[in-house]
Amino acid sequence: MSPHEQCPHRNGTVVLDPAFKADAPARYARLRELGPLHPAEFHLGLKGWVVVGYDLAREALTHPHLLKDSAPAAEALAAAGYVLHKPSVGLGAQMMEADPPEHTRLRRLAAAAFTPRRTADMAPRIEQIAHELIDAMPPSGEVDLVEAFNAPLPATVVAELLGIPDQHHLDFRRWSGQALQVASPEHRPALASLHGLLAELLADKRRRPQDDLLSALVAVRDQEDGRLSEEELVGTAMMLVVAGHESTVNLLGNAVLSLLQHPDQLRLLRERPELMPGAVEEFLRHDTSVERSTSRYASRDLELGGVPIPRGSMIVVALGSAGHDAPQASGDVPPVFDVSRSGARHLAFGHGVHYCLGAPLARLETTIALRILLSRVHDLELAVPRESLEWIGSGIIRGVLSLPVRCRVDDARRRAG
């Protein structure tokens, strides 16, 4: 019996372990057949609930009594070995882990630095980075696309956007990659190292401000009403680094893998590159890189999807699963993978007040990167059986650790669109 044919429950509970993550789309599909909400076991044995249906996911993400405040669950979290909201080892002092009105204040101040214009101005540089990475690939043969293209492109973009000096780029890439793998022994040391680097860089930007996002955050910290505390300043920078980097790395990998599994869709996208912006929405719907939301906690006894949820219960939304349950304009549910789909509905960037601030940058990077990749890299095929690919084993991110492909690279930089 194959993994996706097995019952997704263990003693009535969904266990979100590495085996589940490696086969997540098929297992979530089975769960959706059984209902939109299931008891679940997470990292370190912590118990809670996972929402897999689109309508209930939207409700949970905006529920007034499902909050980021973990106080009602403090005893259970401590028993499982969790250390939350400790900025020196995690991401606590930032808006992803805050509720209104603190979240409102933090998001407003972060948005003042992370402007749409700052994002749009990165487009030419994203194109240049993509071409340089492809130029460095062998003319033909085998290459790990994660190592050669998917990881360095968003890492370089975020590092340059923030103003991280070149000498720190390798450490930055390594630490940000390890920071979201919560079961890895490198997880907490990586968070602490990244925290220390950003605190040091922010202090330097205060002394010598430049035209970059860290300097803009310092300016917000020092000038705006309701300004950021020092820990909130570092926490916000941490959030932008980790969330802004790893989500795009794995969105690129999942998109390429989806295209390799659907050669007709790959051919269509090569023939019609103008479809790319809409295709990115389909990639987000079909196999998004942020598989699950961060945790929410019931601030009181409540009911969700007709199920009693006791105060202190942890709720996680399976964002990737919700995309397969979302009613599309064409009316097909569940929809097939279709890069020509117009306006694909999904929850890949969340919903409600915690909707991803970096969504425009992720869309821009993915659109440009895939357009250039498909215009210059041909005869693209997996170099290993798909079943042998190794997936990230823990945390909220879904993606492969490496993506070995065979391909042929054009010498000429053919810029499409």
Q: Give the chain's domain count.
A: 1
Band of the pLDDT at 225, cuts 50, 70, 90?
A: low
In a domain, 237, yes or no: yes
> How many C-beta atoms surround the C-beta of residue 17 within 10 A?
15
Is the bond into 360 cis (omega within 30 degrees of 0)?
no
Q: How far is CA 264 from CA 99, 260, 267, 339, in A?
A: 45, 9, 5, 10
Residue 417 has pLDDT above 60, yes or no: no
Q: Say if CB 300 and CB 8 are below 8 A apart.
A: no
Residue-wise pLDDT for 341-399, tens only, equals 988 999 999 999 999 988 999 999 999 999 999 999 999 999 999 999 999 888 889 99
Residue-wise pLDDT for 8-21, tens only, equals 666 679 999 888 98
What mean pLDDT is predicted for residues 110-139? 92
Where in the sequence is the domain holding 216, given as residue range(s)? 3-409
In a domain, 415, yes or no: no
Q: Say if CB 259 and CB 276 are below 8 A apart.
A: no
In a domain, 163, yes or no: yes
Amino acid identity, position 7 = C
Residue-wise pLDDT for 333-346, tens only, equals 667 899 999 889 99
Band of the pLDDT at 90, cuts 50, 70, 90?
A: very low
The reported pLDDT for the residue numbered 82 is: 64
177, burial (CB in 10 Å: exposed 0-12, middle 13-18, buried 19+): buried
In a domain, 389, yes or no: yes
What CA–CA distance (Å, rounded) separates 32 from 36? 6
In a domain, 161, yes or no: yes
How far apart are the two ends of the chain, measured CA to CA in Å? Answer: 47
CATH number at residue 235: 1.10.630.10
The three-point CA angle 9-11-13 to 5° equals: 50
In a domain, 368, yes or no: yes
Band of the pLDDT at 230, cuts 50, 70, 90?
A: confident
Residue 327 has pLDDT above 90, yes or no: no
> Does the CA dihedral 186-28-309-326 come out positive or negative?
positive
Percent above pLDDT 70 for the chain: 90
Band of the pLDDT at 86, cuts 50, 70, 90?
A: very low
The reported pLDDT for the residue numbered 251 is: 96
Q: Which two tokens stand for residue 20?
A: 């589940």
In a domain, 416, yes or no: no
Band of the pLDDT at 111, cuts 50, 70, 90?
A: confident
In a domain, 414, yes or no: no
pTM of the shown model: 0.90
